[in-house]
Structure 1
Amino acid sequence: MRRFRSGIACVALTGISLLGLNSCREEAPSVNTLKDAYEGKFTIGAALNEPQILNMDTASIRVVKEHFNSITAENCMKSGPIQPTEGNFNFELADKFVEFGVANNMQIIGHTLVWHSQAPRWFFTDEEGNDVSAEVLKERMKNHIYTVVGRYKGKIHGWDVVNEAILDDGSYRNSKYYQILGEEFIALAFQYAHEADPDCELYYNDYSMANPGKREGVVRMIKMLKDKGLRIDAVGMQAHVALDEPKIEEFEASIKAFSEAGVKVMITEMDLTVLEMPDFRVGAEISANFEYQQKLNPYSEGLPDSVALAFEERYLDFFKLFLKYDDAVTRVTLWGVTDNQSWKNNWPVRGRTDYPLLFDRNYQPKPVVEKIINEALNTK
């Protein structure tokens, strides 16, 4: 809630009398939401799922409207859901997502145009099941990107154009896109997206971005795109982090490297797991899956105080880092709204109870939220 800033405004509010008021003095605005605290520094975003987009989860929507000023499509804009068969686009959920963002004056982020995972199988094969030619794949990419980006031209602030195309050692992922087109598929994706909406921001998005090998590979990719005269506005650093991984110094090194390469940095898909990772080498590889074991789910009844404290300190450390680089960081997006909805409850082990987000299972802000707000207010 914002209060009047001057005594004149306060007098006007009373009409013709000040009777009954002890005083009417200037007061500073009360800031108690994330988006207000970080205004002028970077936007604060959340990924929306289907129940939220359809306004079925009204409790989550209240949190989104109060604390966030940016939204990302969690699943409904990925190529599999949006074009399940060739030429047949399903825009129903994506349209509602964009309508929600427009109606609430939010920065809208499209996610994602080109990704090896959750792509429809038909995209890479002919009627006999063989890989299509390079020319056919180019045409399919162009049609998909032109259709999706063009539909929301002027409404989407930015697109995750290519997602997770580089491995931890800096080499290209051997996806179907890469097998058929080589590294050219990345340049083509950015070219087609820019042609479809010349005013839209364009991003590359990936996980494990604190890894030195991946960092170097992404910097090479940025240079490749810029050398071709193509637009790339920012790199999205997925922040699927744990209590002790990655090292915050390595995360900082990547922010600096990407900024020095001539792009802005966006912190995307942020969540902080308190649970043990069976294998940290999987990063955020969605295909990874490990068998449930009770020892891997130790906090089903709640967090011990020591773990809750470590969780707070870790989140604060990251937000202090983002504030340190607020000239480079333009957005921080949480990958979900409340703990009970997070994908981390079922990845990489199904059926666990995790606590990775800033709002609890009762839709209430955790104590760390106030500390994150105060950190922004105390940073000039």
Structure 2
Amino acid sequence: MKPILLISIFLFVFHLSSHAQSGMKDAFEKSFHIGAALNYRQVNGQETKALDVLEKHFNSITGENLMKWGPIHPELDKFNFEPVDKYVALGEKLNAFIVGHTLVWHSQTPDWVFEDSDKNLLEKDALIKRMEDHIEAVVGRYKGRVNGWDVVNEAIFDDGNMRTSKWYNAAGKDFIKRAFIKANQIDPEAELYYNDYNMWKPEKRNTAIALAKELRAEGIRIDGIGMQGHYGLESPTIEQIEASIIAISEAGFKVMFTELDIDVLPNPANRSGADIDATFASDEKYNPFKDGLPQEMQEKLAKRYGELFALFNKHSDKITRITFWGIHDGGSWLNNWPMRGRTAYPLPFDRNYDEKSDVIKEIIESRSVR
């Protein structure tokens, strides 16, 4: 056999081998980070398959629940740092971009945060002081190790009005401003974000942009706006998502998709987004794929992911990170929302941590679409 033919065969085989071994993070290494939200079992090493998948496919991680106020700061004088210490150490082992989620949120925050010793609601100054103390403790512990913080989460209703949470009722928009000020004081090197769902809706997006501009006009640092990305197979449209990418970027803020998943199951009100309070009683007719996802639906899932990543790649100059909300189907929150006990299929990996090859293929091949 001629040497030139041998070389050609070697290069071809090498190319196939390299392609087989490359993951999503390699495919988009020049575009944006590829992230995954991690649960306690993955951080603790109980789900041993998780590490191999993380090493191959992801270069960013987000704590799904372990850094929210309730889990990390359950009582006034008690912090639960051990799981978060493991999470941050794992991120460093992976050389990943580590995201802190979330410092201030209306949900999963204990009642004691808003109350004095007599169970009366705190006034504005006392509540903000409690919030600032929390931020100082959490951000301070991981200063220089966590790369970006979701400082405030879901403070806007879908119609563009500010959410009337206990935070807002006590302090108006000042709780948001003071949260960003404090986070910047404690770690001026970490990126700071506002994060919300249904950001494809113009009313909500416009309010978030106006809020971020207001902060900057007052000299308060905010680096980016996170679009959560809890989508369905058809809604929102690519055009609606694209409009928000462009609007946020043109306003001068980094764009990231922070909680991406695709719900293929029906629900009673065709709900989208991630309002965890919008739940329904269990009903088996909304759990149609208990024995596995039909091939037709799998193909629709792959096609939808391919279209989304083609859009992300088109705007890679504006987007810094794409984070899936979970790693595999079995760990997805969509198994229990908007009703408990569903069998959900929203992610690129199945319940055994095996790749959904057609989904991964569509995602990676979307790089060629412009």
* TM-score interval, normalised by the smaller of the two chains: over 0.9
C-alpha distance in 2, partners of 1:88/1:363?
A: 35
Aligned to 1:134: 124
In the superposition, relative to structure 1, how do residues 304 and 379 fare at CA in structure 2: closer, same or farther (>3 Å)?
Answer: closer
The one-letter code sitting in structure 2 at the alignment partner of 1:84 is: P
Contact 2:60 2:99 in 1 (8 A): yes
Corresponding residue for residue 203 of structure 2: 213
Find the counterpart in structure 2 of residue 358 from structure 1.
Answer: 348
Look up the match of 1:196. 186
SS for the counterpart of 1:130 is: coil
Q: Give the TM-score normalised by structure 2.
A: 0.94
1:36 pairs with 2:26: yes
- The answer as to 2:106 corresponding to 1:116 is yes
Q: How does 1:310-329 map to 2 (within 5 A)?
A: 310-329=300-319
2:341 aligned with 1:375, yes or no?
no
- Say whether the 8 Å CA contact 2:248–2:255 is kept in structure 1: yes
Give the corresponding residue for 2:78. 88
Matched position secondary structure for 1:55 = coil
Residue correspondence of structure 1 range 3-18 to structure 2 within 5 A: none
* CA contact 2:260–2:323 (8 Å) conserved in 1: yes
Distance of 1:328 and 1:86 partners within structure 2: 40
Contact in 2 for aligned 1:52/1:58 (Cα 8 Å): yes
Partners of 1:280 and 1:220 lie apart in 2 by 29
Confirm or deny that 1:106 pairs with 2:96. Answer: yes
Paired residue secondary structure (1:30):
helix
Q: What is the letter of the counterpart of residue 30 of structure 1?
A: S
Report how far residue 283 of structure 1 moved: 2.6
User: 1:285 & 1:62 partners in 2: Cα distance?
Assistant: 32
Q: AA paired with 2:287? A: N
Aligned residues of 2:198 and 2:272 also touching (Cα < 8 A): no
- Is this contact kept in 1: 2:230–2:272, CA < 8 A? no
Structure 2 match to 1:305: 295
Q: Secondary structure at the match of 2:149?
A: strand
In the TM superposition, structure 1's runs of 4+ consecutive aligned residues that sit over 4 Å from their partners are 21-29
Moved more, 51-60 or 284-293: 284-293
Structure 1 gaps, min length 5: 1-20
Residue 280 of structure 1 and its aligned partner are, at CA, apart by: 3.8
User: Any unmatched runs of 5+ in structure 2?
Assistant: none
Q: For the pair shown, which has the larger CA radius of gyration, 1 or 2? A: 1
- Greater mean deviation of Cα atoms: 120-129 or 46-55: 120-129
Deviation at 1:282, TM superposition (A): 6.1
Q: Which residue of 2 aligns with 1:264?
A: 254
Paired letter, 1:94: V
The residue type equivalent to 1:368 in the other structure is V
Distance 1:309 1:240 in 2: 19
TM-score of the two chains, using structure 1 as the length reference: 0.91
Question: Per the alignment, do residues 284 and 195 of structure 1 end up closer, same or farther by CA in structure 2, a change over 3 Å counting?
Answer: same
CA distance in 2, matches of 1:194, 1:80: 22
Query: Would the aligned equivalents of 1:169 and 1:217 in 2 still touch at CA under 8 Å?
Result: no
TM-superposed CA distance for 1:87, in Å, is 2.5
- 1:279 Cα deviation from its structure 2 partner: 2.1
Are 1:282 and 1:288, in contact at CA under 8 Å, matched by a contact in 2? Answer: no
Deviations 1:333-360 (A, max 9, x none): 0001111111101111111111000011
Counterpart CA distance in 2 for 1:49 and 1:79 is 15
Deviation, structure 1 residue 204: 0.5
RMSD: 1.7
Match of 1:241 among 215, 231, 252: 231
**Pairwise mapping of residues 270-349 of structure 1 onto structure 2 (< 5 A)?**
270-281=260-271, 283-349=273-339
38-47 or 225-234, larger mean C-alpha shift: 225-234
| Number of positions where the alignment pairs a residue of Structure 1 with one of Structure 2 | 360
> Which deviations, in whole Å up to 9, do the C-alpha atoms of 1:173-205 show, x marking residues without a partner?
000110100011111110000001000000010
Task: Summarize deviations over 1:83-110 as a string: whole Å, max 9, x none.
Answer: 1111211101000000111122111000
Distance 1:281 1:243 in 2: 12
State the alpha-carbon separation in 1 of the partners of residues 153 and 124 from structure 2: 20
Residue pair 2:307, 2:366 contacting (<8 A) in 1 also: no
Quote how far apart the aligned CAs of 1:294 are: 1.5
Q: Distance in 1 between matches of 2:273 and 2:320?
A: 24
Separation of aligned partners in 2, 1:379 and 1:306: 23
- Distance in 1, matches of 2:343 and 2:63, equals 24
Hey, what does 1:68 align to over in structure 2? 58
How far, CA to CA, are the matches of 1:346 and 1:276 in structure 2? 13
Check whether the contact 1:345–1:354 (CA below 8 A) recurs between aligned residues. Answer: yes
Do 1:222 and 1:261's aligned partners in 2 also have CA atoms closer than 8 Å?
A: no
Q: Which amino acid aligns with 2:97?
A: Q
Amino acid in the other structure paired with 2:263: T
Pick closer, same or farther for the CA change 1:282–1:68 going to 2, 3 Å.
closer
CA–CA separation in structure 1 for the residues paired with 2:92 and 2:250: 33
